[in-house]
Amino acid sequence: MFEEILPPQGKKFGRVFAFPVRVYYEDTDAGGIVYYANYLKFAERARTEYVRSLGVCQQEGLESEDKCGFTVRHVDIDYKLPAVLDDALVVTCEVVEAKGAGAEMHQDIYRGDKLLASLNVKLAYLSLARKRPVRIPEELLNKINSCA
């Protein structure tokens, strides 16, 4: 009955992946604007869907013997304008560089054509079993770089 209902999937525009996000009441603070940390959640959702759009199941990496996956090691975020309840946002993802055990990504959050926030994200590919960075698997690296 509900098989036809799918979550938002985003769309690629050349090197840029765009993912839709709706602002819900839970995302706002007492002033009625999106709480600053929630922009990071929106960006995380978009990065997750970007990797999924490459045909990669991150759950498989987490269930593998070495339990590997991406983790954020550094974020710079520049807040430009506030988002508010019911805003329809678009979060973009663009890989700047991916090699070795890390990747850099630029993300923007828009309401229509207005830029609300801009993020530069440094990611590490981490073995959770060994608690240290490991090389990004060649197959995944090729998929990422084919879009970059």
pLDDT at 7: 80
Whether this prediction's pTM lies above 0.85 is answered by yes
Beta bridge partners of 133: 126
Beta bridge partners of 94: 106
CATH number at residue 31: 3.10.129.10
Residue 59 lies in a domain: yes
Residue 100 lies in a domain: yes
Query: 46 with 21: CB under 8 angstroms?
Result: yes
Query: 121 with 44: CB under 8 angstroms?
Result: no
- d(Cα 61, Cα 51) in Å, to the nearest integer? 12
Residue 2 lies in a domain: no
pLDDT at 62: 57
Structural domains in the chain (count): 1
- d(Cα 120, Cα 123) in Å, to the nearest integer? 10
Residue 38 lies in a domain: yes
Residue 115: domain span: 11-147
- d(Cα 50, Cα 92) in Å, to the nearest integer? 9
Question: pLDDT means per 10 residues in the chain (148 residues)?
Answer: 84 95 95 95 95 76 72 97 97 96 97 98 92 90 79
Residue 3 lies in a domain: no
Residues that are catalytic? 29
